[in-house]
Structure 1
Amino acid sequence: MKQLIFLLLSIFVSSCSTVLNSTKIDYLTSNYCQPTIEYDYSKLEIPKQNFIQQDSILNANLSKHDILISNAIGIEVYLTAYLQIKKDTLKKLVLKQKITDRLILTSIEINALASELDCNGERINKLADYVNGLNNKKTKNLTVASVTIGALTTVAAVLVKNNNSSNAVAVSGGLLSAGLGALTIAPKGKKIELKLQRNLLGNIWYNDNSNRAYPNSIWIIINEKQFSNSGKNDLQESIKNRWLQYNFNGKIDAKTQKLFFDDGGIYTADDLYTRANMLNELQATIRSLEQDLKSLSLKLNSL
């Protein structure tokens, strides 16, 4: 009886949640998706110039949507000068090339950011699969042990002739089997520690791009209401509201907020799956900005 109780306590102790630490964990928790260099956008600044009737020229040729895109990617000065030139001169061709270069650069920025989000989504999902696989293996082992203990207890109780001893075996075995069964119903599971130096979700949650993780053009676009389908909330607000409602049931505590939007912490497999889904959702939104560039490009080709 004492041996059975000792075994029961050992199983409870060994089944408690532990933070995993291995070469596989180290490889996946290091952010190999982060850019290896810092991008210098300072040389892309275009000096503001006062063109005659700049607003009226742009309004006469572009939609409000395309004007906002032009402003976000920094080509409104080039566009105004381009539209003021009547003949197909060399200067007009030079301006057209500058406009095209900016469109290409913005497309590259969109795809670069989306690729980083995609890489992180795959990385975190792989990490979640690894942790979840270990948890499923533990649950399976507990289930097998519970069934085995139950069968052995029944056999032992029948073989033991002494009533007191038989009852003791049955009770101890029943407790052990019940304890193992309880662990399979609500296993604590393994966890991992994930530290975040570059958290692209945090920029959206706090509406703060002071670390310049997002290119300025993209940040302007996702903070402009005209670029959302509803026109009521900008893309940043819409993404944050969806996360709050669907991932956190409408409310979030300080610990969870730190875990997902600050510098990380201890994650369960479910937490990791949630983070991976959020990264993938954000990636899809960033990629959709190509549609806005397409609209402007089509219009410029018709001018």
Structure 2
Amino acid sequence: MKQRKIFILFIISIFVSSCTTVLNSPKIDYLTSNYCQPTIEYDYSKLEVFPNKTSNNDSILKANLSQHDILISKAIGIESYLAEYLQIKKDTLKRLVLKQKITDRLILTSIEINALASELDCNGERIDKLANFINDINNKKTRNLTVASVTIGALTTVATVLIKNNNASDIVGVSGGLVSAGLGALTIAPKGKKINLKLERNLLRNIWFNDNSNGAYPNSIWAILNEKQFSNSGKNDLQESIKNRWLQYNFDGKIDAQTEKLFFYDGGIYSADDLSSRANMLNELQATVRSLEQDLKSLSVRLNSI
């Protein structure tokens, strides 16, 4: 009877120790703090003050640029500069001034693209490192459970042979079998460790809800992401396309309120799989943002030929 109690307590202790726990350590604290966030808040308000548009801007631009390049020029705020530049033929100095303003805005937009992409890249690496850290802990735990299961099974076999008392031998055999089976079950479906990740600046949220009211994305980039003609299909804009891919490939076509809150609000308790999904989403968004350089290149090449 005493042996039975000991084994039962042992089984309980194993299952209790295997319950999911939230990790807390200096390594976790370092990686859960968003060191990728900009150290200053950018002021885009002055960039929104462009020269007044003239009534014949569209006709002048259409005569010299593709619709794609016209949309880019509007998104980055050089539409009026371009229209005026294209009208001037003899005033070389004024053309040079306008050309410099246009070039400055192209350079600034390129910097904005690279700055946003760098923040996404940094966060993707940070979250991926967290996922790998937790996976390493979970894998080590699984290995330990496997070793313990094999060891318990071997010891139980030996004990049942050595114990001469039939009742005691049966108790040890049954209890040891239960413990070994319990350990084996835990290796099949282990309850992995998790971490608490708070998201003060969640760049995925703007895309998911199509809302940039917090100004996390520069207005020029946000305008491009919300223009259908900048996508290959032309049916959905880039923001919609990204969201649809996330929905299909990360959430199997549907998402519940709890998961939506975890990924697109202020964070919460993440498993290693959740973190891997988040890292993939950040990397995918980064790739899309970097691809906007191709649109700038198209306009730049055309301007140099005018």
> Common fold, TM-score beyond 0.5?
yes
- Cα offsets for 1:80-125 (capped at 9, x unmatched): 1100101251010000000000000000000000000000000000
Give the alignment partner of residue 45 of structure 1, picking from 43, 48, 54: 48
State the Cα RMSD in Å: 0.8
Give the alignment partner of residue 161 of structure 2, picking from 144, 152, 158: 158
Determine if the alignment matches structure 1 residue 169 to structure 2 residue 172. yes
1:91 match:
94
2:15 match:
12
Q: Given residue 234 of structure 1, which amino acid in structure 2 is its aligned partner?
A: D
- Cα offsets for 1:244-300 (capped at 9, x unmatched): 000000000000000000000000000000000000000000000000000000000
Give the alignment partner of residue 127 of structure 2, picking from 111, 124, 129: 124
- Cα offsets for 1:45-92 (capped at 9, x unmatched): 234424352111000000000000000000001001100101251010
Q: Given residue 240 of structure 1, which amino acid in structure 2 is its aligned partner?
A: K
- Cα offsets for 1:139-185 (capped at 9, x unmatched): 11000000000000000001111211111110000000011111111
Give the alignment partner of residue 272 of structure 2, picking from 252, 261, 269: 269
Give the alignment partner of residue 259 of structure 2, picking from 256, 259, 276: 256
Structure 2: segments with no counterpart, 5+ residues: none
Determine if the alignment matches structure 1 residue 198 to structure 2 residue 230. no
Q: 1:64-79 alignment to 2 at 5 Å?
A: 64-79=67-82
Give the alignment partner of residue 297 of structure 2, picking from 291, 294, 298: 294
- Contact 2:50 2:77 survives alignment (8 Å): no
> Counterparts of 2:50 and 2:250 in 1: how far apart (Å)?
43
TM-score by length of 1: 0.99
TM-score by length of 2: 0.98
> In structure 1, the residue corresponding to 2:110 is in which secondary structure?
helix
- Contact 2:52 2:80 survives alignment (8 Å): yes
Equivalenced residue count is: 303
Structure 1: segments with no counterpart, 5+ residues: none
Q: Given residue 253 of structure 1, which amino acid in structure 2 is its aligned partner?
A: D
> Counterparts of 2:57 and 2:26 in 1: how far apart (Å)?
60
Q: 1:174-189 alignment to 2 at 5 Å?
A: 174-189=177-192
> Counterparts of 2:193 and 2:117 in 1: how far apart (Å)?
30
Q: Given residue 284 of structure 1, which amino acid in structure 2 is its aligned partner?
A: A
Large movers: runs of 4+ above 6 Å: none
Query: How far is 1:42 from its partner?
Result: 1.4
- Contact 1:128 1:269 survives alignment (8 Å): yes
Q: Given residue 195 of structure 2, which amino acid in structure 1 is its aligned partner?
A: I
**Percent identity among equivalent residues?**
81
> In structure 1, the residue corresponding to 2:234 is in which secondary structure?
coil
- Contact 2:120 2:282 survives alignment (8 Å): yes
- Contact 2:51 2:81 survives alignment (8 Å): no
